[in-house]
Homo-oligomer: A and B are copies of this chain.
Amino acid sequence: MNTTTANISAESEIRALMDSWIQAFLAKDLDGIMAHYAPDIVAFDAILALQIKGQQAYREHWEKCLGFCQGPIEFKLHEVTIVAGDEVAYSHSLTHCGGTNEQGEMQASWMRGTVCYRKLGGQWKAVHEHFSAPFDMETGKVLFDLQP
């Protein structure tokens, strides 16, 4: 793809959407988080469910997830790639994320995130989200200690 002014502009818009989503997440602002998603979002989250389809189901999933998060959350993006066409875009990144355990200590690990976007009614919305951590085939356990 040739990088055009339109693409650069779209990529800036996607970056702003990602930043705004992170701010909402760190503030545990459920409405703020949900504002970034299209009505027919399909999410493959790292925990609990194979897939979550639609705003209402995803809102309920997010409520559960935020319920796990007592105390401060960490969620930092690294190695962010954004590719945007006129109406379809995606981003992927590593995320260093975690929460505060019962002893008040931050427990964080590296995860992976991919988000797909469409321009709907003139606004970019996340239409698909995929978060995960890789696992060990022998033990079936998540590899929380991997480093980039």
Contact = CB atoms under 8 A, between A and B. Distances in A.
Q: How many copies does the complex hold?
A: 2
A43 to B, nearest CB: 10
Contacts of A142: 135, 140-142
Contacts of A85: 85-88
Interface residues of A, number: 47
Contacts of A83: 88, 116, 118, 127
A128 B91 CA distance: 9
Contacts of A141: 140-142
A44 interface: yes
Contact of A84 (B48, B81, B88, B147): B88
A71 B120 CA distance: 46
A54 interface: no
Contact of A128 (B47, B110, B114, B119): B114
Interface in A97-148: 110, 112, 114, 116, 118-120, 127-128, 130, 132-137, 140-144, 146-148
A44 B143 CA distance: 13
10 closest cross-chain pairs (CB), A and B: A132-B132, A85-B88, A85-B85, A44-B112, A1-B87, A50-B146, A90-B116, A114-B130, A88-B88, A140-B142
